[in-house]
Amino acid sequence: MSRGPSLTVRPWDSGDGDAGGPDQVLGIPVDHLLAKRLDAAGALVALQDRRVALTGPIAAIGHHRVLRTYVRGRARSKADPAYRDWLAQVSTVLEHMQPESRFR
């Protein structure tokens, strides 16, 4: 049985709501906020389906290890230092997550 894609990424759209404090990401309800970007709209959130999501210029959903790999690669490719710092913060939070945790 397939569990679907391990990472889903697409641009964040204004119709998706507030990227800094979303109620849902790509239709999946947010369980709670893990980190919030202070200099622009963006957040790292735990989803009710036990995955995590990054919001901001993009919406990226995946299991914490897969999302961490994506975030690290994205940080290396971006010229904006503030965005790189945000992604480094996100990577640190994801690095400390345990796979069996419910994020609480």
Q: Is the pLDDT score of 1 beyond 90?
A: no
Asked if 60 and 67 count as a contact pair (C-beta separation under 8 A), the reply is yes
Which pTM was predicted? 0.88
In the chain, the number of structural domains is 1
The reply to whether 36 falls in a domain is yes
The reply to whether 2 falls in a domain is no
pLDDT at 101: 54
SS3 content of the chain, % helix, strand, coil (to 5): 30, 30, 40
Asked if 35 and 54 count as a contact pair (C-beta separation under 8 A), the reply is no
Asked if 46 and 32 count as a contact pair (C-beta separation under 8 A), the reply is yes
The reply to whether 17 falls in a domain is yes
pLDDT in tens, 43-87: 999 999 999 999 999 999 999 999 999 999 988 887 889 999 999
